[in-house]
Structure 1
Amino acid sequence: MKIYKVAAIAVILSQTISCNSQKVNSNKEQKTNAEISVKEGGKWNGRKYEGGTWKSVQSHTLDPLHTDHSFDIRYEGPGWESNKIAYRLYLDWRNAIDIFGKTSKKIILPEVGLDGFDSYHLRQDWGSDVLKVGKGVGLGSITRIVDDKMYRFETVDKTSANVENSAKKSTVNIDYIGWKTLNDKIDLKAKLSIFPDERFTKYSFTPSAPISGIATGIVKVKKEELLQKKSANGKWGYIATFGNQSMFDDGLGMALFYETSTIAEVKDGPFDYLVVFKPTTKEVTYYFLASWEKEQDALKTKEEFQNYINIKLDQLNSKNKL
């Protein structure tokens, strides 16, 4: 009997330790997050969505009535974040990427915009929207430029987005079906991933047809000096800006890393510093990142920021990936 009791106690202890271990693992600090939150239970009034409540969903297809400021998607599109910074994409004709600066390392997107549709333009406990996108692409989003005229996503047959979250990364996938610009109509698949302890987003896109002028870039906020550099082997390069160019006139650095074999030119566009890609149907990958001076472990000077992005360029030079 004593042997059985000892064995039973051992089993109970083992189960208790296992349960506690699972509890610790389940409470492990989350370092990345991607979400898309939409209104349900309301109704359309013209092109504005009225009433309803917010619900986070795994995937979403845009309603044909959706446009900018339709109020049917919280902070106007999907968002993704690491424990250092957050980004969002306007899932409408603008197709621009904006930056949410964070003052702590916690996950913040689930609470952004709950206290008012555009409350994130004001300083919050978690941080704030820190970039004025204006008429530009923001940071790292896709557009098309031909003869210095920018063509956005005004005409798309169908746009769908979904999110994926794991311990290693968080990802937003977007399918643009029937994107029409000039006399061309293509499909474009995009994948945006963010990683723990990193500021950068990895952006991969695949066009269904090889058209000229597909581009990305960095919005010119105050016409800060354009920083440029190529890696030692010439395979990667970056464009970047740094200065008091945030919404609050404090320090904000933005950088975009491109594979030199994939680009046709780097040019000064009407609203942005642009990287224009060669026509292709192959997957193209680039990276972008931002750093705000109010974040924890902030890069507060141009020298600190440039040293940081030079290290990232060296990583691309040696590993061909970040």
Structure 2
Amino acid sequence: MFFFSMDQKKYQFISLWIILTLFFVSCKRDSNQPVPAAEQLGSQVIEITNTSHQNRTKSNVEVDLHRLKKEMIPEKGNTLLVVLGDKIIPSQLDDLDNDGKPDELVFQVNIAANDRIKALIYKVSKEFAANYHYKKRTHAQLGLKNGKKPFIIRDSIFSENGDLYKESMHHGPALESEIMAYRMYFDNRSSIDIYGKIHQRLELDTTKWYSNDEFIANDYGGDILFVSKTIGIGSLRTWNGKNAEVVKANKGRYAIVRASGPVRSVIDMCALGVNGSEELLSRMMIYAGHREMIYRAYLPKEMSAEFCTGVRKMDGADVRINKEAGYISLWGTDYPRINHEKYPKVTVGLGVVVPEQWQSKQFMDDELNHLIGVQPKDLFMEYYVTAAWNQERNGIRTADEMEEYMKNLSLRVNAPLQISY
């Protein structure tokens, strides 16, 4: 039997009160706890189905807010949280049409082959949602040069002649995940270039795309592909029967950052005055934990042009084309920059895959590029661009590994998750 003095009991009571208080405060702010009933302004269950025979990790879920119950649409002062099981998971609301209202809720799930899971969406106040902070795992940036001064960071830029290649930061808009970064040139080429990383982390806000001696000494990545007049990787072109041609903007061009957050980043580039007075909107999108970039194109009306994409050629490269799966996989070595002494050759993997519903079943070559046809459906087309290099820690290191990645990517994009509202 133990005996305590009154002072001991008082001390123990105060200690226990402090511990319990800290516990309940941490529970309220711990993203592993579900939303308390008192904080719920609305809720809705959605079902997510994996129809493929493969387990899926970090699979992207895009929820169309217009398909949710009317009372679930976020208004001023409130937002949405997503719960899987008993955990609040990272999510993001994006306004993709620039009307000041969110259009999509995005998050990521792990789901077994041929399985179905439920996600619970809660409408809550922004004040309550502020208790949950998600690590930023993607980044998008856009800006203009400012002489020798720091860049002028902008959400959007516009050019009447469609060319701000020399004036814009890293020659056009750029986005990244922890694994890979992509940029699109702000001119008629609209070519896509790549930035490789040694370590998985966000780097563009620090390096602004270009490496220097200090960055190299600290294992930062950099530009790993020489694009010039080639298609680069995954750029959209038209096919004239012999060569890939750029899509010219005759009435201007704009770029805008639509999203830069914990789950994904989105950048739009729109060419005005295509084929006279038409517009062609290109959307680049990258998700956390993914090396591939999603390319989506929106047409105002049917165009007679044949579209294509692809990867640039490299002397001696190992090129593997799978017409049935709709991909091109290249593993090759070349100089990444003009200054060969400072920037020696690097070995890279380049790949594009076109989902079956947008395949034209055409594979072709011109002098500079390996190409695959892409055809719009309902004024829309989508394909996937991916890259690697042999200096990435625990990354893709061989042509066989690059092709294996392309095979798996093709399976994933041809069997997207199904959402039931």
Normalising by the smaller structure, the TM-score range is: 0.7 to 0.9
| Residue deviations 1:18-41 (CA, integer Å, cap 9, x gap) | 797599954x532211111224xx
SS in 2 for 1:305: helix
Deviates more, 1:102-111 or 1:241-250: 241-250
The amino acid that maps onto 2:382 is T
- SS of alignment partner, residue 364 of structure 2: strand
Look up the equivalent residue of 1:291 and give its one-letter code: A
**Distance (whole Å) between structure 2 residues aligned to residue 144 and residue 205 of structure 1:** 13
* Match in the other structure for 1:87: 182
- Aligned counterparts, 1:164-203, within 5 A: 164-180=259-275, 186-203=278-295
Is 1:54 matched with 2:151?
yes
SS in 1 for 2:222: strand
Residue 299 of structure 1: aligned partner: 396
1:288 paired residue among 374, 385, 388: 385
- Residue 244 of structure 1 deviates from its aligned partner by 2.3
| Of 328, 336, 359, the match for 1:239 | 328
- The answer to which of 212-221 and 246-255 deviates more is 246-255
Q: How many residue pairs align between the two structures?
A: 296
In 2 relative to 1, CA 289–207 (structure 1 residues): closer, same or farther, beyond 3 Å?
A: same
Give 1:173 deviation, angstroms.
1.4
Change in CA separation of 1:151 and 1:309 when aligned onto 2, cut-off 3 Å: closer
SS of 2:395 mapped into structure 1: coil
- Alignment-mate amino acid for residue 170 of structure 1: S
**2:298 aligned partner, one-letter code:** T
Shift of 1:134: 2.3
Q: How does 1:95-134 map to 2 (within 5 A)?
A: 95-113=190-208, 119=211, 124=216, 125-134=219-228
Q: Report how far residue 107 of structure 1 moved.
A: 0.8
Residue type of the partner of 2:367? P
Inter-CA distance 257–86: structure 2 relative to 1 (3 Å threshold)? same
CA distance in 2, matches of 1:281, 1:157: 24
Structure 2 residue aligned with 1:141, among 235, 238, 242? 235
Match of 2:305 among 193, 203, 212: 212
Cα distance in 1, alignment partners of residues 135 and 411 from structure 2: 29
1:152-189 deviation digits (Å, cap 9, x = unpaired): 24543121111212322111112211124xxx653111
Decide whether the 8 Å contact of 2:253 with 2:271 is kept in 1. Answer: yes
* Distance change >3 Å, CA 315–CA 263, structure 1 → 2: closer
Question: 1:74 pairs with 138, 163, 169, which one?
Answer: 169
Aligned twin of 1:259: 355
**Equivalent-residue separation in structure 2 for 1:200 and 1:120 (angstroms):** 26
CA gap of 1:122–1:300, structure 2 versus 1, over 3 A, is farther
Whether 1:36 aligns to 2:142 is yes
Shift of 1:122: 10
Change (3 A) 1:55 1:25: farther
Cα distance in 1 between the residues matched to 2:174 and 2:413: 25
Give the equivalent residue in structure 2 for 1:274. 371
User: Normalised by the size of structure 2, how large is the TM-score?
Assistant: 0.62
Residue 222 of structure 1, CA deviation:
2.1
Q: Whole-Å Cα distance in 2 between the matches of residues 156 and 65 of structure 1? A: 7
Whole-Å separation in 2 of the counterparts to 1:156 and 1:15 = 61
Distance 1:216 1:223, change over 3 A: farther
Deviation by residue 1:239-296 (Cα, 9 ceiling, x = unmatched): 1111224624332111111134433311012211112233665211110100111112
Would you say the 8 A contact 1:257–1:288 is kept in 2?
yes
* In 2, Cα distance between equivalents of 1:122 and 1:156: 41
- Provide TM-score, normalisation by structure 1: 0.79
Question: What's the secondary structure of 1:309's corresponding residue?
Answer: helix
Unaligned runs of 5+ in 1: 43-49
Distance 1:24 1:83, change over 3 A: farther
Give me the whole-angstrom Cα distance separating, in 1, the residues matched to 2:212 and 2:21.
Answer: 49
CA–CA distance in structure 1, aligned partners of residues 295 and 329 of structure 2: 17
Distance in 2, matches of 1:222 and 1:185, equals: 40
Offset from partner CA, 1:124-162 (integer Å, 9 cap, x none): 331110001121111111122313244324543121111
The verdict on how the C-alpha distance between 1:250 and 1:65 changes in structure 2, with shifts beyond 3 A counting, is: closer
